[in-house]
Amino acid sequence: MGRGYWRHSVPPLRGLRTLRGAHAAGFTLIELVIVVAIVAILAAIAVPSYRRYVMHGNREAAESLMLEIASAQERYMVDNRGYAPDAGTLGYGPTAQPSGVSANYDVAVATSTALPPSYSITATPKAGSPQANDSCGTLTLGGDGSKQPAGCWK
């Protein structure tokens, strides 16, 4: 029984080697399903978060424009003893507004000639834009500095 017996008692593993040899490149179906599931979960979390981020950024751009128009209204009042009747008079007509705002909001100025004179600026989300689904809806800035809806302003 010496050395030779142990050497021949275990069959060679040549067959196993050919099964996993050159034909074993790539991924298994289970591995691919796991990767697809992980990507789907990440997308389900990331896409709504990104949409909220874009909506918030668009709203802040509209708020910034409304504050600029309010500042221009006050300068107009000092020079003309009355408020401008519309945004175009102040140089903020639809074609002069930033594209990010004009694509998502209709910005309008309303004035009152009653004493004391006043104005309000509204930004109404356009149908079909990302802002159409914004829970804040129409933004309003009054001549007295009031901001509606209150929880939506930065």
pLDDT(79) > 60: yes
What pLDDT, in 10s, does the model give residues 25-52? 788 899 999 999 999 999 999 999 998 9
Instruction: Look at the pTM and tell me if it is higher than 0.75.
Output: no
Using pLDDT thresholds of 50, 70 and 90, give the confidence band for residue 139: very high
pLDDT(57) > 60: yes
Burial track 112-132 (b if 16+ CB lie within 10 A, e otherwise): eeeeeeebbbbbbbeeeebbe
Using pLDDT thresholds of 50, 70 and 90, give the confidence band for residue 80: very high
Using pLDDT thresholds of 50, 70 and 90, give the confidence band for residue 10: low
In this structure, how many other beta carbons lie within 10 angstroms of the beta carbon of residue 134?
Answer: 20
Using pLDDT thresholds of 50, 70 and 90, give the confidence band for residue 24: low
Return the domain boundaries, the chain.
38-148
Give me the half-sphere count of Cα atoms (radius 13 Å) on the Cβ side of residue 104. Answer: 23
Beta-bridge partners for 122 = 108, 140
Using pLDDT thresholds of 50, 70 and 90, give the confidence band for residue 3: low
Percentage of residues in the chain having pLDDT higher than 90: 58
Q: What is the pLDDT of residue 137?
A: 92
CB contact at 8 A, 131 and 125: yes
Q: What is the pLDDT of residue 126?
A: 94
CA dist 149 and 141 (Å) reads 9
Using pLDDT thresholds of 50, 70 and 90, give the confidence band for residue 146: very high
CA angle 111, 115, 116 (to 5 degrees): 75
